[in-house]
Amino acid sequence: MLRARAILSRRAFARGYATSPPPHALIYLEHRAGAIESASLSALTAAGQLGGQVTALVVGGPDEVTAIVDQAKKLKGVTSVLHSSSAQYATPMAETLSPLLEKLLSENSPFTHVVSAHSSAAKSILPRVAAILDVPALSDITSLVHDASSNSTTFTRPIYAGNAIATVKASSSIPIKFFTVRSTAFAAAESEEGANAEVTALDAVDVSDSPSEHVKTSLTQSDRPELGAASRIVSGGRALKNAETFEATLYPLADVLGAAVGASRAAVDAGYADNSLQVGQTGKVVAPELYMALGISGAIQHLAGMKDSKLIVAVNKDPDAPIFQVADVGLVADLFQVVPELTEKLKA
């Protein structure tokens, strides 16, 4: 917070000579079960590409924050860590976290950018804060370039379900540039031996009359890799017929491959798979090493969620299914014959 104070004391001076401030990103680091989310680590890599300082913000319940701060201060690219804990922060909610961010980003703040993963929590919180500060925000960016001399940042982001890529410039007239990062477009930042960023505690901003309260969270339990971070994904569509065959057919193959299980919207809507497994424009965007699309036709909304995968394998009865236009390896066949055979042969 030394910088903030320095700016404060030279405020009049700084106003007189409007040189652009060096980039200083505030990244909202998310964590779950004592570990930093991998999507946040990808966002950190993106923040590092701005070419300036990166301050990590860690918030959570009183018993959570210490362990996360220890991990955060060792991350490559993090120059300082701010943390704040409160019972209110145990479940991140926009109404209770906004006042903290607002205070942190209000007048004389050193921060030029606010960064996070494009996660469900950050998607709820960041735009709320941006609006309070009267600045626009960018969602789901896939690349960025910062020009320090003009204090402008240029981003690319997919629009129309990934069927077009927009290049968008946030100029110096936007004093704080808010953006969320598509995690599959950036490698995850790693821990660095010997790194030890400066750690500062922040007082929680108590919101005594929040208009919303958290009732409960129910997470889908799974032993498989997390869908968003998995290097291999086996995904099923409507052709799987019902929840039982979805499991019986896909899970053994996923186990043999050490893969996460995904689903098309059709499979989710029909109740074969949980909502949290949905891949696509309205679900998760993934880019694994291997994406196996089984009984998925390949609607544009689904392709939006997986077409950046390295190797796409499709099995479908319909030779004209659009999925074959993007698949590296396609097999026109009945998946109920192919998948068990594939599972057996991969086991061998």
Partner 1 sequence: MRPSSARLLHILVPVKRAVDYAVKIRVNPQQTGIDLNVKHSMNPFDEIAVEEAVRIRDRLKDKVKSIKVVTIGPTKSQETLRTALAMGADSAIHVEIPDSAPAPEPLGVAKAIQAVLARQKEKGEAVDIVILGKQAIDDDAGQTGQMLAGLMGWAQATFASKVDIDVEAKTANVTREIDGGLEELKCKFPLIVTTDLRLNEPRYASLPNIMKAKKKPIEKLSASDLGVDLTPRLETLKVEEPPKRVGGGKVESVDELIAKLAEAGITGVKA
Q: Which of 14, 148, 207, 256 binds partner 1 (CB under 8 A)?
A: 256
Span of 14-22, 138-146, 185-193, 200-208 interacting with partner 1 by CB under 8 A = 138-146
Query: Residues 44, 81, 105, 174: which binds partner 1 (CB under 8 A)?
Result: 174
The token pair at 184 is 């599959």
Q: What is the DSSP letter of 150?
A: T
Amino acid residing at 204 = A
Stretch that binds partner 1, among 10-18, 46-54, 70-78, 255-263 (CB under 8 A): 255-263
Sign, CA torsion 297/301/305/307: positive
Beta strands in 30-123 (DSSP E): 31-32, 35-36, 53-60, 80-85, 113-117
Structure tokens, 86: 């409160």
Contact status: 125 vs partner 1 (CB under 8 A): yes
Given 44, 57, 94, 97, the residue binding partner 1 (CB under 8 A): 94
Of residues 51 through 90, those in contact with partner 1 by CB under 8 A are: none
- The minimum distance between CB 257 and partner 1, in angstroms, equals 6
Residues 293-322, mask of contacts with partner 1 (x by CB under 8 A): -------xx-----x--xxxx-----x---
Length of the chain: 348
Nearest to partner 1 of 18, 33 (CB atom): 33
What is the torsional sign of CA 327, 331, 334, 338? negative
Give the one residue of 2, 131, 187, 201 binding partner 1; rule: CB under 8 A: 131
217 binds partner 1 (CB under 8 A): yes
Q: Do the Cβ atoms of 302 and 282 come closer than 8 Å?
A: no
* One of 272, 281, 295, 297 touching partner 1 (CB under 8 A): 281
| Tokens 């390949």, residue located | 298
Distance in angstroms (rounded) separating the CA atoms of residues 63 and 309: 38
- Residue ranges for the known binding site are 238, 264-265, 278-282, 295-302, 316
